[in-house]
Amino acid sequence: MKGMIRWSGIGVAAVILVLAFFLLEPLLKLVIEQAGTRALSTKVSLKSVDIGWSDSALSLHGLEIADKDQPMRNALEVDQIALQINALDALSGHLVSEQARLNGIQFNTPRSSSGAVDHMVTLGNVDEKVSSAASDLSLPGLDLPDMDQLVSKENSLTYQRYVALREYIDANKVSFKQRVEALKDEKKIEEYKARFKEIKESKGFMGKLQAVSKAKELKKDIDKDLKEIKRLRRDFDLTVKEIQRRAEQLKDSPKEEADHLLAKVGVEGGTQKVAEVLFGPEVKGYLQQLKSFMQKGSDAVETETQPQTPERGKGLFVQFSEERKLPLVWFKFAQVSGDLHGLGVPFKFSGEATHLTDQQKLTQQPTAVTLDLINEKVKSANLGIVLDNRKTQTLSIDSTITGYQVDEMPVSGDFTLNKGLADLVAKLKLKDEALSGTLDLAIQQVSLTSTGSLFEKYPSAKEALATVDAIDAKATLSGSLDTPGVAITSNLDRVLNKVFDKAIEGQLASYKSELTQRLETMLDEEMKGLKGAKSDYLSLSDDISGAEGALDKILGGL
Amino acid sequence: MLTILAKLLKLLNSDQNPSHLALAVCFGLAIGLMPGFSAFLVIWVILLCVLKANLTLFFLVWGIFEGVAYVFDPMLHQLGYQLLTSEGLNALWADMIQSSFWKLTAFNNSLVMGALIVSLVLFVPVYLLVLWLVKSYRDKIQTFIEKWKITQMLKGSKFYRVYQSLAGA
């Protein structure tokens, strides 16, 4: 055996191990980059890796995770991650650490080269969607709709009422005409007259006796007809009443319809939720950003799939159940610091996080982050986030900001908060798709500027806003991230409603009058035709009277 | 090609320990078949350094078995896959996967497992076979071949000059 050992070879092996020692850092860098890229389906890169052999410490510098949707931007960038690790775990691509420190965390930073991985589709910029949602400010009560679009014969309630009345008159006219014709039947009258004559001319005892009986029969028949005439008269009078009622209704219909149309397009209560119109798009914009962030986060939990026929030289990895199956990243406790400006939130932050991981299904622990938000203009601010997607995806966000000195802050497209001292309490929960939460905002020492066409049109609103020195607003969130419901109540509603109500009063009255006139003009011709039909119908009354008179005359003779 | 053949003949005709040559063939086979991403490769390389295997022959055989591994890749994969999915061995693999060291070896890769098993199974038989072949060559065939007319002719050829130059080197 002694002859089998190459003593010089031991030296060579030692040299290989030393080389491996020096090559371990670039090797580890490569392993982490490849494992990260594979797991997140987006480019993960590191500037360098330092290994501290004495204390099993690993330091990662310049971690960049590209944004899948925008390859020229990083979704996340971390200046330095210092952690204590198991070297074997790290070599297999798993960064698992009891304690870690993440410094210089930034979001949405620019990249020098594209981070696209094969077959990635580039989607539009979320920020653009947000800003476009906020830019179109329109209060339904103030922007009156185009009248031509509003008024059309086909959809007009008045026209429909007119058509219904016309049909009613025509149908009854035909029916009553038939019934009157039946009563005015000349043959029948002649027969009654002949029977009357026969009775009158009867002679002898027997003849007189028979005449009495015939007279009784004739009276019975005529009474029957008269009864029918009375019923006809009663029915006719009822239809006349109904026609008159409908005609009256039709007369007032254009005015009523004008009110209805205006209510339908939101003019009626249009100025009641001014704050919702002003701030709603902003809140929805932030929710849209949150949705995009959540989608990016949830992508990481996708499991890797393997092809059934492996490439040559690659083989297939057969999976066995591991007692300790490790996620790609799991920092059980981490001190974190960084900057939220990339997310459009003007704060730096420092704080703690527990169970930071890419796969909670493996760690079986929810991720919790507690941050102190730092901004020189804020007295104190904190943010608590709990993300739990072990079974269902649940995100809870609690934030309190006190004494935020707001300076030239655009609130919506037409609205700028020049200055103010804001306190905000936000509680938001997202469970699967269901969104719930409240935002309580109180701003003191307020100075507001309003710009845009809306406020130029209503200078009194601008003046009223200039007198506002405190704002309180409460937003209640509901629905889902896709279709969020944002109900906002604010003292601005009271202030602006007062102004807008006054401003719109005269404008709305003339608009309504014009709208009524349009509807009346539209129905004018039809109404003339209706008058003729109505008088034709009423002339049936004379026919009924004629029939009644003829029968009464015969009956009087009896 | 001539150089390689000449090197091989030179090794056979030299006084190199046959067991060193046999080990070189065995390591060439094992390292040639093993995929690059497994820690088994490092283990084989360290053994190659520490044990007295002829490095010239090792490089020669290694190159050959890299090609063999490519050709027999589907079979090695199938063999490894069968073993890894065999119910009887499942408990063993499940125990091994719990260890970070074994994970680094990528033993649960079908190709790694196939190559490892083939290398281990063939290691001793190949070692003994090569040992016997080298000894037989030197004892019986070498002297016998030298007497052949063709050998005499070859001695005057370019190939022999290459051989000589290597022998002199």
Query: Which residues in B lie closer than 8 A to residue A321 (C-beta atoms)?
Result: 94
DSSP-derived pairing of the beta strands A329-339 and A95-110? parallel
Q: Which residues of chain A have pLDDT under 70?
A: 1-2, 117-146, 149-150, 262-280, 292-308, 411-414, 452-455, 457-458, 499-507, 557-558
Question: How much is the pLDDT for A174?
Answer: 86
What one-character DSSP code corresponds to residue A120? Answer: P
A449 phi, psi to nearest 5 deg:
-125, 135
Question: How much is the pLDDT for B86?
Answer: 93
Count how many pairs of residues, chain A against chain B, have C-beta atoms within 8 Å: 90
B47-72 pLDDT, tens digit per residue, is 998 998 998 899 999 999 999 999 99
* Distance (Å, whole) CA A138 – CA A489: 18
Q: Is the pLDDT of residue B39 over 80?
A: yes
DSSP A483-509: SEEEEEEEHHHHHHHHHHHHHHHHHHH
Q: Whose CA is closest to A279, among A141, A380, A411? A: A411
For residue A323, what is the nearest residue in chain B, using CA coordinates?
Answer: B98
Dihedral, B115, B116, B117, B119 alpha carbons, nearest 10 = 80
CB A292 within 8 A of CB A70: no
User: Which of A318, A321, A328 to mutate: most B Cβ within 10 Å?
Assistant: A318
Q: Which pLDDT band, with edges at 50, 70 and 90, does B115 fall under?
A: very high
A93-128 pLDDT, tens digit per residue, is 788 888 999 999 998 898 888 877 654 333 334 344
A113 phi, psi to nearest 5 deg:
-135, 160
Query: Which residues in B lie closer than 8 A to residue A12 (C-beta atoms)?
Result: 49
* Distance (Å, whole) CA A259 – CA B33: 87
Q: Is the pLDDT of residue B154 over 70?
A: no
For residue A315, what is the nearest residue in chain B, using CA coordinates?
Answer: B111
Q: Whose CA is closest to A173, among A543, A524, A526, A528? A: A543
CB A301 within 8 A of CB A66: no
Q: 3-state DSSP helix/strand/coil percent for chain A, to nearest 5?
A: 50, 30, 25
The label of the residue with tokens 């009087």 reads A556
DSSP-derived pairing of the beta strands A329-339 and A348-357? antiparallel
CB contact under 8 A, A317 and B94: no
Q: What percentage of residues in chain B have a pLDDT greater than 90?
A: 52
Q: Is the pLDDT of residue B91 over 60?
A: yes
User: Which of A308, A316, A319 to mutate: most B Cβ within 10 Å?
Assistant: A316
CB contact under 8 A, A88 and B100: yes
CB contact under 8 A, A315 and B77: yes
CB contact under 8 A, A88 and B101: yes
Residues of A with CB under 8 A from a CB of B: 3-6, 9-10, 12-13, 16-17, 20, 86, 88-89, 91-92, 310, 312-324
Question: How much is the pLDDT for A273?
Answer: 59
Q: Is the pLDDT of residue B130 over 90?
A: yes
Question: How much is the pLDDT for A129?
Answer: 39
> Of B17, B100, B110, which is closest to A318 when you measure between CB atoms?
B110
Question: How much is the pLDDT for A135?
Answer: 43
For residue B114, what is the nearest residue in chain A, using CA coordinates?
Answer: A315
CB A35 within 8 A of CB B37: no
Map A126-141 to HEC letters: HHHHHHHHHHCCCCCC
User: Which of B44, B84, B118 to mutate: most A Cβ within 10 Å?
Assistant: B84
Our CA-based measurement puts residue B107 at a distance from the nearest CA of chain A, in whole angstroms, of 9
Residues of B with CB under 8 A from a CB of A: 17, 19, 23, 35, 42, 45-46, 48-53, 69-70, 73-74, 76-77, 80-81, 84-85, 90, 93-94, 97-98, 100-101, 103-104, 106, 108-112, 114
Our CA-based measurement puts residue A86 at a distance from the nearest CA of chain B, in whole angstroms, of 9
Query: Which residues in B lie closer than 8 A to residue A313 (C-beta atoms)?
Result: 35, 69-70, 73, 111
